[in-house]
Structure 1
Amino acid sequence: MPSPPSPTDISISLLAKTGLQLQSIKTLQSLWAGYGYICHATASRLPSLASSGKSSRSASASNSGISTPEDHHSLILKLITPPPANAGDEGHMRKMLSYQVEQYFYSHLAPLLPPSIPVAKCLASINEQQSDGTSTTAMILTDLRQTFPIAGEKREALSVTQVHAALDWLSSFHGFWWPRVKDIRRTELVHPPIEEFSRNVHEAQSRTVWLNGGYTYLATRRSEFANLAADHDSEWREPLTDSEEDGQSISEIVASILAPRGRGRGPAEGYMTLIHGDVKSENLFTSRDGKEVAFYDFQYTGLGLGVCDLTKLFTCSVPLSMLVGKGSVGKELAMQEPEKELLDRYLLRLKEVSGKGYEWDIFVRHWETALVDWLRFQASWGFWGNTKWLEARVRHILKDEEWRSGVAGNRSYA
């Protein structure tokens, strides 16, 4: 089997399409399980363009979309050259589909976003499948660090200012797509991995973003859910996996409410938007003052309720004091005022940007349902972040008869 192409060779080839030439390249990190690399590249204009005067300089700037000095461009290469995988490996399928989803997002959807919702620009990309079963997927992106130099990195929590900025970005992103998702052809959306790879070739060639955004939803986590159902030492086995009166567990009922439909209308259909799918501090950069953020890593972008993005942000990256104030987290916990203030901030901008209505009671029902779903994943996969807060909130939610009645009857969602 031939060696995969090098980051240098791929960069030279892709940059040439934009009128740029490679000056230097450095590997920043390896992708999960040896699937490729993230590299930083610097580039300059090709000599033929550099010597052709003002018109060529304007064309180069227009093609690149980069607001850096004209003789030096800071760029990011994302190169995916996956290792061989066993047939039926769901994790491998998920990853491969996710890279195609991300490439589609940057190539087709990101250019539609206004400047007020900053994301990296894709200058050039390739997606090649070889006859021996290997593949090469790559993108040259603008370097967000030029404008947003502070990386979220593996921090336990963002600052208060950064949390507010992240909420503003998410509410703007969700609000922008909410009225527009009706124009996305659902027949071209990416289904759960095993189901997707069983579809016919014609459908597979038209992949866009995920039908169900994120990577934790129940349809793709059945094995983990089965392990939870068999774990008699887990507090969450009985409340999340035991059957209710209709023969479904509360986890399955919740998943049905939150899941977008390929055909027909689900209980929450009127509130579906595009979600980021993997919201955490490691996937954003901020301005120096922390008042603006830009998210990246759109591998799990797809349809969903905006609150599904918030559950991970609140659990993994928001300081606990911004959720409970100075109070302590007991065994059970109702929504505290600080949590409500964050949700209020998000909802206000979401409605302003989208121009659509969203009643507070329905919004909270969606939020609490998403918290239960997120806990189901953590309970079956492993806990991290504001675990005590998440568990206490869900204990309270599961004992709320009004919530249970609404969920069981799928009421107050449409």
Structure 2
Amino acid sequence: MNNHFKEITLQSTGAKEMSVHEEIQSLWSGYGSIVRIDLKGSELKSVVAKHVKMPNNNKHPRGWNTDFSHQRKVRSYEVETYWYKKYATMCDEYCKVPECLAVEQRGSEVFMVMEDLDASGFGRRLSSVEWKHIETCLKWLANFHATFLNVNPQGLWPVGTYWHLDTRPDELKVIEDVELKNSASAIDCVLNNAKYQTFVHGDAKLANFCFSNDGEKVAAVDFQYVGGGCGMKDVAYFVGSCLYEEDCERLESEILNCYFLELSAALSRMNKHVDFEGLENEWRALYYYAWTDFHRFLKGWSPGHWKINDYSEKVSREIIQQLKK
């Protein structure tokens, strides 16, 4: 970390001294790192810094090294920066996100100083879940979608999620499932033309949720692919990230009922007047479309991925048949 970014950290926290405590993770394809910084002389004991450095020769772990993919990643960090500057403060305790203390763009580098969620009581990361954890995340998503319902995603991705069709032409080209490949544009069109639109987190996997010790509260991180869209994209992706296929099917009704119950409560609390019956009917019908949309990406990006399972195949066949009618 250079002196300029050290100075930003000290100024934004009021600290007299700082030291890098640990690297939390390196960013995808060698684009930088996320570190925890210990502070002295500040009310805060620690902060988290995300330092993005755009490499000239990026190394993708699955071999997708193209200028197109590089530009997508560059744009994703611009989007995340704008998200924290303009929109993050609209999130309350019901859809907790880290407070951003400073954002700096300098040449090919981006530097963000953020609240340390571990120090704020969100120190648990889970690799397997019980129902209460699923419920907690679904409630976070419902409140997030309620907060940004009908808000124009200015400065963000017009269509959120990292697998959006327009941003993944290389992966589409190599799909061997001809029917799914030929249906991709129609599925994308149905989702994009939904009457009810909100912001989607865009990468709402289990690994991007930070839990309280009792699992009753959660905060979300990583907003590189936040943008416009149908809320079902986040729900389908989250469910697929933490459940085996038999549980995806067995708990499907329970998952959707939990989500829509919380969405209704959130909209009421926010005094947002919408035709909720119309919204719920539309989005329930789009759950399988959202699932199939991500399934399309996976089959091009990593055909042997564990998430490509019988449930996903069944869902996608059902949607393809619907589109033929």
TM-score normalised over the length of structure 2: 0.87
Q: What SS does structure 2 have at the residue aligned with 1:215?
A: coil
Q: Distance in 2 between matches of 1:22 and 1:39?
A: 16
Structure 1 residue 396, shift from structure 2 partner: 3.3
Q: What SS does structure 2 have at the residue aligned with 1:150?
A: coil
TM-score normalised over the length of structure 1: 0.69
**CA shift digits 1:101-131 (9 cap, x unpaired):** 11111222111222222110111121012xx
Q: Distance in 2 between matches of 1:379 and 1:320?
A: 16
Q: Distance in 2 between matches of 1:349 and 1:158?
A: 20
State the number of aligned residues. Answer: 308
**CA shift digits 1:229-285 (9 cap, x unpaired):** xx3xxxx22x213xxxxxxx32111111223xxxxxxx31x3110010001111111
Aligned to 1:164: 135
Matches of residues 95-114 of structure 1 in structure 2 within 5 Å?
95-114=73-92
**CA shift digits 1:184-231 (9 cap, x unpaired):** 5xxxx4xxxxxxxxxxxxxxxxxx211110111111112221111xx3
Instruction: Give the counterpart of 1:390 among 308, 312, 316.
Output: 312
Within the alignment, does 1:276 sit opposite 2:189 as a pair?
Answer: no
Q: What SS does structure 1 have at the residue aligned with 2:80?
A: helix
Unaligned runs of 5+ in 1: 1-5, 47-69, 130-134, 190-207, 242-248, 260-266, 326-337, 406-414
Aligned to 1:324: 249
RMSD: 2.3
Q: Distance in 2 between matches of 1:89 and 1:215?
A: 16
Q: Distance in 1 between matches of 2:167 and 2:137?
A: 27
Aligned to 1:351: 264
Over alpha carbons, which structure has the higher Rg?
A: 1
Rate the CA distance shift 1:7–1:309 in 2: closer, same or farther, 3 A: farther
Within the alignment, does 1:21 sit opposite 2:13 as a pair?
Answer: no
Instruction: Give the counterpart of 1:303 among 212, 228, 244.
Output: 228
Q: Distance in 1 between matches of 2:92 and 2:298?
A: 34
- How much identity, in percent, do the aligned residues show? 29
Contact 1:14 1:140 in 2 (8 A): yes
Aligned to 1:11: 6
Q: Distance in 1 between matches of 2:211 and 2:324?
A: 39
Aligned to 1:213: 160
Q: Distance in 1 between matches of 2:100 and 2:188?
A: 34
Structure 1 residue 369, shift from structure 2 partner: 1.4
Contact 1:272 1:304 in 2 (8 A): yes
Aligned to 1:51: none
Rate the CA distance shift 1:111–1:174 in 2: closer, same or farther, 3 A: same
Q: Distance in 2 between matches of 1:17 and 1:217?
A: 35
Instruction: Give the counterpart of 1:149 among 104, 115, 123.
Output: 123
Q: What SS does structure 1 have at the residue aligned with 2:95?
A: coil
Q: Distance in 1 between matches of 2:2 and 2:226?
A: 26
Within the alignment, does 1:176 sit opposite 2:101 as a pair?
Answer: no
Aligned to 1:379: 299
Unaligned runs of 5+ in 2: 59-64
